[in-house]
Chain A
Amino acid sequence: MSDATTATPAPTGGTPEVSHISEAVIRIAGNSQDGIQAIGGFLARLAGRSEQEVMTFMTIPSTISGGPSIFQVRIGSGEVLSAGDEADVLLCFYQHSYEGHVGSLKKGGIVLYDSDHVKEIPQENLSKYRHIGLPISSLVVEAIGGTGRDKGKNVYSLGLIAKMFNLDVPKLHRLLSERFAGKDPKVAETAIAAFNGGYSHTLATAAELFKFKPGENVGHNQIVMGGNEALAYGLIAAGVRFGAGYPITPWSDIMELLRKELPKYGGSFIQCEDEIASVAMAIGASWGGRVAVTGSSGPGISLKTEAIGWAVMAEVPLVVVDVQRGGPSTGMPTNVEQSDLNIACFGGHGDSPRVVIAPSSVEDCFYTAIEAVNIARKYSTPVIILTDQGIASRIEAFKMPELEKICQDISPDFTPVADHKPYDLAATDGITRHLAPGTRVASGKYPVVTGLEHDELGHPTGSPKLHVQMTAKRRNKLKKLGADLPTPTVFGPSEGQVLLVSWGSSKGPVEEAVKQARAAGDAVSGLHIKYLNPLPNGLEKIFEAFSHVLVVELNDEGFYGYGQLGAVLRARYCDPKIRGLTKVDGLTWKIREILDRVKAMTK
């Protein structure tokens, strides 16, 4: 809670002081069925509607039902780049939540705990943190009656938080009514009663109350959603109308949303028997004339690689979403990792160049999906969107996209043609163009799309010369894409001691680390790479101006001491100052971790 004006301790029995703050990190810890994600969701949405920035962080157990779970919300009146290293307020429902998360509080932070369940508070903690114990479970029963107290606990606690942070009650009431609209009206009434119960509970024991400074995003019409949602809606905006998939965490949200939404636009999403069928079906539909989507997480991507190789060979456009989680094998299904870069860029047999791009935030998920579709169409190629569990499960507020301008129509064109050779080696731009089946070719010569090496019409050939030419054709069209890619701009000064290179969800933490390092007087800058395969040109010029290039990624340092993007950059630039700054603990970056590692590596 930076900028907090020092509050004087509350006089006994009086009203606590109100501090004006510009940001706060609130962590809620309980079990997965307590609905704590709902509290987090309400807080995030409220922040969005209050023109504030917001970012959330969630851990979910991979057990079937139950198990400890947390949701962390960071709300700021200014820019918010990460979910926050330390919490200002911890709300905990159980003894295990207390024990597991009290360490995440900053010194002097507030623990709000359910004294019905949290019984043991170690003596040494009392001086470190401010403790407020309330019998939340019993109070909920008082507020809404004897039934469903587990259900009301989250909303009651939301009331407590609303009181503590002086949140906008009418807006929260509206959010609650919207959320429970359509169900039995009693449900919404009970929710509001629970909320009011919490809100009106006297927090006289609290040492301090807070009030957010007004948000800076004034006039922004903000929208609040999660990364997977943004990606799915981006695909719809891009004009995708067919998809196929198989359930796997954390990709399933995307397929569920598309299954429900696509029919509104005349499309459909098919749940398949397996991952291979999903990619095959999406490729079939893409060949049918309109870019289709499939997706998965690591294990499913492994299964799809043969078919992706076919799409590279046949040069059929396709979008594949990989919501990365901890690997290898089943790995850590509900944790974040960026260890699928290699399989995305190089997975599969043979020389199979394809495009890989990675979104860096929830908002970026929306636009990256559109770009992926456009690149797939323009270069007639599979494009892999490499997102991750961290972005997938977090909620952010961002500016409402201008949908009327953005939404695309990519319906196929069936105008009959005189003649056609899809794999024309003389094509001016070197890019394959397929005819959608259903298109008449007046010459009577029809093309075949194939995984065999082929001639210009798609018929098989064993000609060494053609294999050389077609391999070059597939490579060169994407080299051309590489040349068209914008060179990324340096975050901070374009020369200095350390350049922190990020990709995907590491962007926010790296930029926040850069800000903190610079504030401390260190010459640290950041460089975010969105287009991972092919890479944009001109990176070597940027690297030249720094003594250390540290590639920050959530994967293992490998045999040779650098992570997966680090290895690619090393291979391309042969520059020994490129090193890896990696970790695999399944959690997003803390700013402190990055800064400590930078210090240790550049001593």
Chain B
Amino acid sequence: MTALSFPSENLTRTGNLNLTPVPPIPEGERKGLTKKEVAADHPTWCPGCGDFSVLALYFKLIEKRKMHHEKITTVAGIGCSSRFPYFVQAHGAHFIHGRALPFATGVSLSRPDLHVFVFGGDGDAFSIGGNHFTHTARKNVKLTYCVMDNNVYGLTKNQTSPTSPLGYKSKTDVWGSGDRPVNPMKQAICAGATFVARTTHTNPNHVLQMMEAAMDHDGFSFIECLSECVEFYPGAFDGANPRKGGQFPEVPKDHDVTDEYAAYKLAEDLMPGKFGIFYKVNRPTKNANEAKIVSTNREKFAALPDWQILQKNFDRMK
């Protein structure tokens, strides 16, 4: 009965012939990465897509902050923008539609040593994955979520998205969309996100600034980055592009980022809307809460090996 047909094996990773261990490099001797070293596959996006600039600025962030390949994880769901992990030379995961956030939560909670970045689109975030957006924000999981919002379903070729404005004509709303669009900023603030920022792909410096601030935030950091779909919704964000006659109104200098109601108020108008950090507060993260539960529990068992902790339980069940 008690003989296991599959006993524990000391599994090495040498199932792969080409895999040979290499010595570690002391921390001080490693150089930062160049853009060339971070870039992987050439993006499959359409020429002129806003997502290119988000990717370029992500590379810049890695370069600027001297991050190492192996400490970066990029996670995405499904959509045009969700192809992101293939374009970054780092451990990446391309998960299923709408579920990138819980997947990334699993990585973040079990591996606090990694920077977890999640990229996706408006469909992934606010339609199929809407429930996860709310709960990841509420739990305040330490990760950065950058939603590249193009107000349309691009990968499936022009259907209405949850952020498409009223009246938007798509293949699924030939007479114009009639459903009130989601306001990503309001959604994030209400759900309990502790870092909420808005930017647009046509202002590279601003994107980088928001990415850095998001990365440095201890908690769930959310960025909505307007990213134009030149194929199906060209000109969607001209109103927020001064080069196309629009405006780029930044969050007022005197805005209190810890004031939830003021942040909500800032999110009132959608186009061009405001740009910058709307909301930023410190609240214990899920990661910290779990770590605290672990340390309180571990204290009681000081230096006991795992099997003895289990033995204590089993002895009570005799």
CB distance from A237 to the nearest CB of B (A): 6
Question: Do A242 and B110 touch (CB < 8 A)?
Answer: yes
Known: A268-B294, A280-B99, A284-B104. A441 touches B70 (CB 8 A): yes
Question: Do A416 and B24 touch (CB < 8 A)?
Answer: yes
Which of the segments B165-173, B192-200, B304-312 contacts the partner chain?
Answer: B304-312
Q: Bound complex: CA of A448 vs CA of B72, how far in Å?
A: 12
User: Is A65 among interface residues, defined by CB-CB distance under 8 A?
Assistant: no
Question: Do B290 and A223 touch (CB < 8 A)?
Answer: no
User: Is B93 among interface residues, defined by CB-CB distance under 8 A?
Assistant: yes
Known: A307-B96, A370-B4, A451-B96. A437 touches B107 (CB 8 A): yes
Most buried by A among B19, B92, B290: B19
- Nearest A residue to B99 via CB reads A280
Q: Bound complex: CA of A416 vs CA of B89, how far in Å?
A: 16
Question: Do B19 and A419 touch (CB < 8 A)?
Answer: yes
- Nearest B residue to A284 via CB reads B106
Which residues on the A side are within 8 Å of B18 (C-beta)? 418-421, 424
Q: Which of B39-84 contact A (CB under 8 A)?
A: 40-41, 68-71, 73, 75
Which residues on the A side are within 8 Å of B296 (C-beta)? 263
Question: Do A449 and B4 touch (CB < 8 A)?
Answer: no
Bitwise, A415-457 to B at CB < 8 A (1) or not (0) is: 1111111101011110111011111111011111111100000
Which residues on the B side are within 8 Å of A276 (C-beta)? 99, 102
Known: A273-B131, A424-B16. A448 touches B93 (CB 8 A): yes
Q: Which of A220-245 contact B (CB under 8 A)?
A: 221-225, 233, 236-239, 241-242, 244
Q: Bound complex: CA of A310 vs CA of B94, how far in Å?
A: 10
Question: Do B111 and A418 touch (CB < 8 A)?
Answer: no
Which listed residue, A307, A445, A450, touches B94 by the CB 8 Å rule?
A: A450
Question: Do B114 and A437 touch (CB < 8 A)?
Answer: yes
User: Is A558 among interface residues, defined by CB-CB distance under 8 A?
Assistant: no
User: Is B2 among interface residues, defined by CB-CB distance under 8 A?
Assistant: yes
Question: Do B318 and A224 touch (CB < 8 A)?
Answer: yes
Question: Do B2 and A399 touch (CB < 8 A)?
Answer: yes
Which residues on the B side are within 8 Å of A273 (C-beta)? 131-132, 134-135
Number of interface residues of A (CB under 8 A): 105
Most buried by B among A48, A221, A285, A375: A285
Q: Bound complex: CA of A242 vs CA of B13, how far in Å?
A: 21
Q: Bound complex: CA of A2 vs CA of B210, how far in Å?
A: 78
User: Is B31 among interface residues, defined by CB-CB distance under 8 A?
Assistant: no
User: Is B156 among interface residues, defined by CB-CB distance under 8 A?
Assistant: no
Question: Do A261 and B293 touch (CB < 8 A)?
Answer: no
CB distance from A320 to the nearest CB of B (A): 14
Known: A265-B309, A416-B23. A48 touches B318 (CB 8 A): yes
- Nearest B residue to A261 via CB reads B313
Which residues on the A side are within 8 Å of B16 (C-beta)? 420-422, 424, 427, 433
Q: Bound complex: CA of A459 vs CA of B90, how far in Å?
A: 12
User: Is B303 among interface residues, defined by CB-CB distance under 8 A?
Assistant: no
User: Is A287 among interface residues, defined by CB-CB distance under 8 A?
Assistant: yes
CB distance from B19 to the nearest CB of A (A): 5
Q: Bound complex: CA of A396 vs CA of B263, how far in Å?
A: 58
Q: Bound complex: CA of A404 vs CA of B113, how far in Å?
A: 30
Question: Do A264 and B301 touch (CB < 8 A)?
Answer: yes
Q: Bound complex: CA of A222 vs CA of B315, how far in Å?
A: 10
User: Is A252 among interface residues, defined by CB-CB distance under 8 A?
Assistant: no
- Nearest B residue to A371 via CB reads B6
Which residues on the A side are within 8 Å of B95 (C-beta)? 280, 283-284, 310, 451
Q: Bound complex: CA of A437 vs CA of B113, how far in Å?
A: 10
Which residues on the A side are within 8 Å of B93 (C-beta)? 284, 287, 314, 448-450
Known: A263-B297, A427-B15, A441-B70. A272 touches B6 (CB 8 A): no
Which of the segments A288-296, A337-345, A581-589 contacts the partner chain?
Answer: A288-296
Known: A276-B102, A399-B2, A448-B92. A438 touches B70 (CB 8 A): yes
Q: Bound complex: CA of A48 vs CA of B318, how far in Å?
A: 7
Q: Bound complex: CA of A222 vs CA of B314, how far in Å?
A: 10
User: Is B109 among interface residues, defined by CB-CB distance under 8 A?
Assistant: yes
Q: Which of A243-285 contact B (CB under 8 A)?
A: 244, 261, 263-268, 270, 272-274, 276-278, 280-285
Which residues on the B side are within 8 Å of A178 (C-beta)? 316
- Nearest A residue to B293 via CB reads A263
Which listed residue, A377, A403, A426, A459, touches B41 by the CB 8 Å rule?
A: A459
User: Is A542 among interface residues, defined by CB-CB distance under 8 A?
Assistant: no
CB distance from B111 to the nearest CB of A (A): 4
Which residues on the B side are within 8 Å of A288 (C-beta)? 106-107, 110-111
Q: Bound complex: CA of A442 vs CA of B8, how far in Å?
A: 30
Question: Do B107 and A277 touch (CB < 8 A)?
Answer: no
Question: Do A485 and B5 touch (CB < 8 A)?
Answer: yes
Q: Which 8 A-B pairs have the closest CB atoms?
A: A284-B106, A437-B91, A280-B102, A263-B297, A285-B106, A277-B102, A407-B307, A273-B135
Could you give 17 example pairs across A and B, Cβ below 8 Å? Answer: A264-B301, A268-B294, A284-B93, A284-B107, A292-B110, A364-B1, A371-B6, A377-B11, A378-B11, A399-B2, A404-B311, A410-B8, A413-B12, A419-B19, A421-B18, A448-B85, A460-B94
Instruction: Given contacts A263-B293, A263-B294, A400-B318, list 14 more A-B pairs with CB under 8 A.
Output: A239-B8, A242-B110, A268-B294, A272-B102, A280-B96, A280-B132, A285-B106, A307-B96, A416-B21, A417-B19, A418-B19, A432-B15, A438-B71, A438-B91
